[in-house]
Chains A and B, each alone.
Chain A
Amino acid sequence: MNWTIFHQHVYPIRHKLYRFALRMTGSVPEAEDVVQEVLERVWKSSEVQSEGVQSWEAWCMILTRNRSLDKLRSNARRSAKPLDGVAEQTPDGADTARAAEARDMAEQARRFMQELPEKQRLVMHLRDIEEMSYEEITRILDIPMDQVKVSLHRARKAIREKLVAADVHFVANT
């Protein structure tokens, strides 16, 4: 691996890889491990391997998906676990009622997302958070495009329903 390529194309997307690994594993330490292992793997890749790469981002995301799946299999974890350690990273740090409310809502929405079936959750993550095209999502998750579109449609519909229900509950309690 050429240091310049690594520095320009791979290292800058480490946060994206981390978020994807976090979405898949549901665990901060494991997501960190996955990213570290993926970066090492890419860094140690041979020149021949590097020459065949068309999109570094897609390749790294595929490696992240595979490594996360390995982790999940080895740990026999359930993918729908709540994200531990993420709630503290919300930007609203001010100790105000509004910030607290925002934190609660954010945590609730994350939980909604984590409760989605795995495919829907990952498609939604790649589209709504990483802003990827359908083609990229197809390549990364290795599923047909129509499945990507159907999964996104179902995921958004489910989230919307949960938001409406939570909003009704929230309004009723205030």
Chain B
Amino acid sequence: MPAGGRRTRTQAAHAEESQEGKYVYCVIKSERSLSFGPLGIGSEPADVHTVNYRDLAAIVSNTPMVVQDPTRDNVLAHQRVNETVMQQHTVIPMSFGSVFKTDDDIMELLRSAYDAFTDVLNKMQDKFEFGLKVLWDRDQIIREIEMEDEDIRRLKGEISSQKGSTYFARMQYGRLIDAALQSRSERYVAEIFHALRDVSVASRSNKPIGDRMIMNAAFLVSRNLEQAFDARVKDIGQRYDKLTFKYTGPWPPYNFVNIRLKLERAH
């Protein structure tokens, strides 16, 4: 690329940086314009308000027209706004980092995706997401399996008492332990999903992260069943005293909505 081209672009970028844009947090249903106070992204928390189009509203705050990095402060501000708005409204969360140039551009977004947003807002009406991660202590479970399973106990005994090669005994022991861990984890996960089925609308199972996690799920729960869901999770916690539960929420329904928008060049 010629040097001149680059200089022009840099100058343009400078000019844009001094401009104000609008950071978008989520979309809700509202015919009125609303204000949520100074909660937004920025070292001085920006005032959070709406940009309205018909009965839809985008929750926004003013921000410099720059790319926002997903730093701890920025990401938590994004979440804080969603959490606050969610207390009174059904939200469709925006993924992090969408900055529009003007109110008109946001109205154009709401207009273009009006049907999609309306449809999804109806489906998510009065529903929240909850996260449930389940972890176990693998070594503790292995000790339990050794106590309960006669074949495994016998093999373990052979390995520790045998004087010659224990290669095949160890191989078989490893295979049996792996299979037992697998089936036990599947059993726990199936039981937990089953126990939460009648207090939630939907669930999604994400890939567990790391060695200790056996379940990484999200549940969509109706507002009127929130307490029942909460009580059920606590019941489960009591019942499975060897498992560790990480229970979070309420969240906007991030795991249950995926609306992909793209820009097309208009001719």
On whether the two chains bind one another, the answer is: no
